[in-house]
Amino acid sequence: MKILVTGGAGYIGSHVVKALGLEGHELLVYDNLSTGHEWAVMYGTLVKGDLEDRALLEKVFREFRPDAVMHFAASIQVEESVRRPLLYYGNNTAGTLNLLDVMVRTGVRCLVHSSTAAVYGIPDVVPVAETAPLAPINPYGSSKAMVEKILADLALAEDFRYVAIRYFNVAGADVACRLGQAYREATHLITRALKTAHGQYERLQIFGTDYQTPDGTCIRDYIHVDDLAAAHVLALDYLTEGGASEIVNCGYGHGFSVREVIEAVAHVTGTPFPVEETGRRPGDPPALVADSSKLRSLMKWEPQYDNLDFIIRTAWEWELALKRRESCAA
Ligand SMILES: NC(=O)c1ccc[n+]([C@@H]2O[C@H](COP(=O)([O-])OP(=O)(O)OC[C@H]3O[C@@H](n4cnc5c(N)ncnc54)[C@H](O)[C@@H]3O)[C@@H](O)[C@H]2O)c1
Ligand SMILES: O=c1ccn([C@@H]2O[C@H](COP(=O)(O)OP(=O)(O)O[C@H]3O[C@H](CO)[C@H](O)[C@H](O)[C@H]3O)[C@@H](O)[C@H]2O)c(=O)[nH]1
């Protein structure tokens, strides 16, 4: 199949491009390279373009004529979204509207969409199922919840089907160490902790120790990026086989606190590092853990890397490879 992948030069998108390429699909990656990298696109053609550029987007759709779209392009940081809400509504909500408009006008009817656990806000029940109410507590989550609503309305109005996958906390790197997170500044917990262990940062801050959790720090469901990539391939197969529109959670179903992650990073790297306890980060819910039984039963998703130490080890090996790459380039 011909698949157009927005944001395919980014962290998660590049792992999905790898998985789709291995399946033999023909790929076109549409990415503005704001946080993504040309070297991360292992398969297909890269077109540098922005979701805002509707004319270019439409030209690319008319020339490539995709059978389906996978949509990763977005702004992704919870804390930044609290400071810069318009950036998030613009890039994530309005940007997706542009994409959907072009899809409808060029007759492309299948979409796999990156949604997020942040749409739940502070769920009453954890692990949280897809049926839980949407009550985002930060603009990032709201920008994605709005897209879900737009998708539902569009699927009613048009011959259009989608799978929205609500990812929990994506972590780790390609097991063959060719891909991984590569941002100028790390904000995600595991990457930030690894870079601190490596000496890039003086200390790791724990954002909040007074949450209603067993050790007072936030709990998240950390899922290996290649397991998430596999879920995308399954979602595409599901749509291709005529499956109806669906929303599915993707996580392992158990969480780790910030303190537990820090301990695991120190253990895997063999390098204890300075930690500072500080105040809460705006927009953070106390605990997010997935009930992914729907993804497992409907799409036969069977994760392979449900092991925090393994996830951290792949990210650590990638971090060391990235440092070697940077020092060769310097
Ligand atoms: N990382 C996580 O833990 C996580 C969790 C839940 C959901 N998600 C979602 O997964 C998707 C991918 O996230 P990621 O972690 O790979 O982030 P990322 O920043 O690595 O990837 C985003 C990619 O989109 C591109 N991009 C951004 N805005 C664009 C625009 N306007 N036009 C064209 N390209 C644009 C960037 O250059 C980048 O390559 C996002 O939609 C994000 O909301 C991520
Ligand atoms: O230096 C740090 C970084 C993070 N944290 C804490 O670690 C936890 C995880 O934070 P991340 O920044 O790694 O991830 P988030 O949970 O904020 O968000 C991630 O997962 C969400 C879904 O759960 C979203 O989709 C989002 O895109 C993605 O970045 C949070 O409690 C955060 O406060 C720290 O204590 N110190």
Distance between CA atoms of 294 and 88, rounded to whole angstroms? 29
Categorize the per-residue pLDDT at 326 as very low, low, confident or very high, splitting at 50, 70 and 90: confident
Whether residue 199 is found in the same domain as residue 291: yes
For ligand 1, the distance from its centroid to the CA atom of residue 215, given in whole angstroms, is 31
Q: Kindly list the distances between the CA atom of residue 124 and the CA atoms of 85, 137, 195, in Å, as whole numbers in the listed order.
A: 25, 13, 34
Whether residue 88 is found in the same domain as residue 209: no
Model confidence at 253: pLDDT above 90: yes
Range of 298's domain?
A: 189-220+253-329
CB 74 within 8 A of CB 80: no
The mean pLDDT value of the chain amounts to: 97
Determine how many CB atoms are found less than 10 A away from the CB of residue 25.
Answer: 19
Whether residue 19 is found in the same domain as residue 138: yes
Closest-lying ligand 1 atom to the alpha carbon of residue 169: 3
Give 199: exposed, middle or buried? Use CB within 10 Å, 0-12, 13-18, 19+: exposed
Residue 181 lies in a domain: no
Mean pLDDT of 84-103: 98
Residue 184 lies in a domain: no
Report which of residues 328 and 28 the model is more confident about: 28
Whether residue 324 is found in the same domain as residue 243: no
Q: Of the residues 232, 250, 268, which one is the last residue of a structural domain?
A: 250
- For residue 250, report the phi and psi dihedrals to the nearest 5 degrees: -135, 105
CB 237 within 8 A of CB 204: no
Whether residue 155 is found in the same domain as residue 261: no
- 73 touches ligand 1 (CB under 6 Å): yes
CB 2 within 8 A of CB 25: yes
Q: Which two tokens stand for residue 253?
A: 């179903």
Q: Of the residues 230, 250, 270, which one is the last residue of a structural domain?
A: 250
Whether residue 211 is found in the same domain as residue 98: no
Mean pLDDT of 128-148: 97
Whether residue 149 is found in the same domain as residue 193: no
Question: What percent of the chain is modeled with pLDDT above 70?
Answer: 100
Distance between CA atoms of 90 and 116, rounded to whole angstroms? 17
Q: Which residues contact 126 (CB under 8 A, 6 or more apart)?
A: 219, 255, 287, 288, 289
Residue 10 sits in a domain whose CATH number is: 3.40.50.720
Please indicate whether residue 43 is annotated as part of the active site: no
Nearest CA to ligand 1 atom 34: 31
- 120 touches ligand 1 (CB under 6 Å): no
Q: Probe ligand 2: pick from 75, 77, 78, 289, max atoms within 8 Å of CB?
A: 78
Q: Which residues contact 10 (CB under 8 A, 6 or more apart)?
A: 31, 35, 36, 40, 72, 73
Residue 179 lies in a domain: no
DSSP string covering 188-253, please? SHHHHHHHHHHTSSS-EEEE-S-SSSTTSS-EE-EEEHHHHHHHHHHHHHHHHTTPPPEEEEES-S
Q: Probe ligand 1: pick from 75, 93, 114, max atoms within 8 Å of CB?
A: 114
Residue 310 sits in a domain whose CATH number is: 3.90.25.10
For ligand 2, the distance from its centroid to the CA atom of residue 297, given in whole angstroms, is 28
Closest-lying ligand 2 atom to the alpha carbon of residue 261: 7
Whether residue 62 is found in the same domain as residue 161: yes
Whether residue 157 is found in the same domain as residue 195: no
Q: Which two tokens stand for residue 241?
A: 């086989």
CB 255 within 8 A of CB 288: yes
Q: What interface predicted TM-score (ipTM) does this complex get? A: 0.98
Total count of domains within the chain: 2
The DSSP secondary-structure symbol of 120 reads G
CB 99 within 8 A of CB 51: yes
Whether residue 162 is found in the same domain as residue 194: no
Summarised one tens digit per residue, pLDDT across range 265-312 is 999 999 999 999 999 998 899 999 999 999 999 999 999 999 999 999
Q: Which of 88, 89, 120, 140 is catalytic?
A: 140
Residue 183 lies in a domain: no
Q: Kindly list the distances between the CA atom of residue 302 and the CA atoms of 117, 135, 225, 298, in Å, as whole numbers in the listed order.
A: 20, 29, 13, 11
The DSSP secondary-structure symbol of 134 reads P
pTM for this entry: 0.98
Summarised one tens digit per residue, pLDDT across range 109-119 is 999 999 999 99
pLDDT at 323: 87
Whether residue 86 is found in the same domain as residue 193: no
Q: Where do runs of H (alpha helix) occur along 65-219?
A: 78-83, 85-88, 95-106, 139-157, 189-198
For ligand 1, the distance from its centroid to the CA atom of residue 36, given in whole angstroms, is 8
Whether residue 93 is found in the same domain as residue 136: yes
Give the residue from 82, 106, 92, 83 showing the smallest Cα distance to 4: 106
Question: What percent of the chain is modeled with pLDDT above 90?
Answer: 96
For ligand 2, the distance from its centroid to the CA atom of residue 280, given in whole angstroms, is 12
